[in-house]
Amino acid sequence: MKKAFSLSNYMFVLLFSCLSSAYASDMKDAQAYQLMDKSGLTRAIESLPQQMQALSQQMALTEKNAGSQQAFSSLLQQSVNTDQMLQQIATYLKSQLNAEETVALLAWLSSEPTATVIDAELQSSDPQFQQNLMRYIADLQSNPPADARKQAIINFVQSTQMVEQSVKMIMSIVDGMFDGVKATRANDPQVAATLDQQKAQMEPMLQGAMQQQMVLTSYYIYRDISDEDLAKYAQFYQTDLGKKYLSIMYGAIGTALGNWGTDFVNLMVKQDTEKQSQ
């Protein structure tokens, strides 16, 4: 479970009235997928297998049992269905946004500095992202940013609710995994009680850890974005539509990752059951 939960650290970059006629529904499908493309969400989800492979390679450096590590890595790869995730996200978006809101969001995503900022954010989809980030943070300690830059980054993290929304997303993954475990141990109420207790303890611990991680990560991701452009980009999230977009995008990706968490646990249980029956 610890290994599975550690995956959440690699997924912070990511996000969140069907119409009556069939023709209108098709148009809404197209808008949803266009929104996912423009926001960088499609690329982020499609990069998950590569990110998980990179994570598995890092885990292998500290794992004594090579066979166990290889089996776990294989299970990770099998559990990720990016097409299914994207379909779930599109369905979520269609249920939360109307056509007018979608058109407005697409216009904003195509404007500057939004498009440039999104390109910068997509660095987190690179399998080498964690390594590059660690090197940057090491350099940052000997070459700290100016006070104005510190304030700009901290204000940005706060105004975009980056910490709060990322914690919610991680807890969605935890919920999915825990629900999967509970389903396999439905006759043991102590399991559910223990997991609920662990979850209650986990969330406040995540808040503090994520605050530091998000600020440090933002120094790296937005290193080529000026303070002015960063502030302009963040201003949108203070509007009603911006707040809704932020909540919906995190909610959408949290739902997809939560479902993946349940599928992952179910796959683990199935594999263990098959081994025991041999």
Per-residue pLDDT of the chain (278 residues; tens, 9 = 90+): 444 444 444 444 343 333 233 333 333 788 999 999 999 999 989 988 887 777 777 666 666 666 666 777 778 788 889 999 999 999 999 999 998 999 999 999 999 999 999 999 998 888 788 889 999 999 998 999 999 999 999 999 999 988 988 888 888 888 888 888 888 888 888 888 898 898 888 888 888 888 899 999 999 999 999 999 999 999 999 999 999 999 999 999 989 988 988 888 888 888 777 777 76
Q: Whose CA is closest to 261, among 4, 25, 73, 54?
A: 4
Look at residue 68 in the predicted model and tell me its pLDDT: 67
Single pTM value for the model: 0.79
- Round to whole Å and give the CA distance between 88 and 26: 16
Place of tokens 């590059």: 132
The string of DSSP letters for 167-232 reads HHHHHHHHHHHHHHHHHHTTT-HHHHHHHHHHHHHHHHHHHHHHHHHHHHHHHHHTTTS-HHHHHH
Q: What is the pLDDT of residue 69?
A: 66
Return the pLDDT at 67: 65
Q: What is the torsional sign of CA 229, 141, 210, 32? A: positive
CB 40 within 8 A of CB 122: yes
Per-residue CA distances from 259 to 5, 49, 167, 256, 271 (Å) = 14, 16, 17, 5, 18
What local confidence, expressed as pLDDT, does residue 237 receive? 93
pLDDT attached to residue 216: 94
pLDDT score for 272? 74
